[in-house]
């Protein structure tokens, strides 16, 4: 169970750094299916892949995001919502929080693009660059450390191609703790309101440039 989904197993069983470790292995594919519907589509692709694939996925029920038999491709992000002011890039159980954050922002007149970047590696560079050019401000949100995770992967793409303000939501170089998933999402700042606040910061930085 990755990150906060380890729940009552506590810090000794709460990996916030696993995807970052595996991302450093040459040629490895690192993926986090978002829900059961995606998992059923992605598993055959994993089985047919000629090489190492590391998949992080919770044994517990994840928020349902997708319909059955939707198409997904390893290495390609899924655009869930179009927007013009800021892009929210999330994966795993945090995708549901990102969608809620987009609703919060919309209530304040802020248009947020939402992307499910379910593959850490190879990252969908084209979609990241397109989003940076379209919205000019990005937020990453992950059930993982901000060190060498999704936020790091996105920042690597931006630095070499289209530098724009980026805010990273995730575990801030901390060990896990015991608690319910809901309590831990709040404890580690992974809730929708945290993502929405980060989006406002990214937009403010964009406007200052």
Q: pLDDT grade, residue 69 (50/70/90)?
A: confident
Whether the per-residue pLDDT at 73 is higher than 90: the answer is yes
Top pLDDT among 130 and 5 is at 130
Q: What pLDDT does residue 135 have?
A: 98
Tokens representing 78 are 């899924």
Whether the per-residue pLDDT at 13 is higher than 90: the answer is no
Whether the per-residue pLDDT at 61 is higher than 80: the answer is no
Tell me the average pLDDT of the chain.
95
Determine the Cα angle at 192 with ends 146 and 65, to 5°.
95
Whether the per-residue pLDDT at 79 is higher than 80: the answer is yes
Residue 15 Rama label (left phi>0; alpha psi -120 to 50; beta)? beta
Average pLDDT estimate for 144-159: 97
Tokens representing 159 are 């630095």
Q: pLDDT grade, residue 144 (50/70/90)?
A: very high
Whether the per-residue pLDDT at 60 is higher than 90: the answer is no
Rounded CA-CA distance 181/117 in Å is 21
Tokens representing 21 are 């470790």
3-208: what fold?
Rossmann fold (3.40.50)
Lowest mean pLDDT segment, chosen from 10-14, 103-107, 153-157: 10-14
Rounded CA-CA distance 136/1 in Å is 34
Lowest mean pLDDT segment, chosen from 148-152, 187-191, 205-209: 205-209
Residue with tokens 């390893």: 74
Instruction: Give how far Cα 77 sits from Cα of 116, 127, 148, 176, Å.
Output: 6, 7, 18, 28
Predicted TM-score of the model (pTM): 0.96
């Amino acid at each position: 169970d990755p990150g906060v989904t380890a729940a009552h197993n506590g810090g000794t069983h709460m990996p916030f750094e696993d995807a970052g470790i595996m991302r450093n292995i040459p040629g490895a594919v690192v993926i986090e299916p978002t829900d059961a519907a995606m998992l059923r589509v992605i598993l055959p692709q994993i089985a047919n892949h000629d090489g190492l694939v590391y998949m992080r996925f919770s044994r517990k029920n994840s928020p349902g995001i997708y319909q059955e038999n939707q198409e997904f491709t390893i290495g390609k992000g899924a655009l869930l919502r179009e927007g013009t002011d800021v892009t929210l890039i999330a994966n795993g159980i945090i995708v549901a929080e990102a969608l809620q954050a987009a609703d919060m922002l919309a209530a304040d007149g802020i248009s947020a693009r939402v992307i499910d970047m379910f593959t850490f590696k190879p990252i969908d560079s084209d979609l990241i660059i397109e989003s940076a050019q379209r919205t000019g401000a990005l937020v990453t949100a992950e059930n993982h450390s901000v060190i060498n995770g999704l936020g790091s992967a996105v920042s690597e793409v931006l630095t070499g191609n289209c530098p724009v303000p980026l805010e990273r939501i995730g575990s801030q170089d901390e060990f896990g703790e015991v608690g319910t998933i809901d309590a831990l999402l709040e404890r580690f700042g992974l809730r929708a309101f945290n993502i929405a606040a980060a989006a406002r910061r990214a937009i403010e930085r964009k406007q200052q440039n």
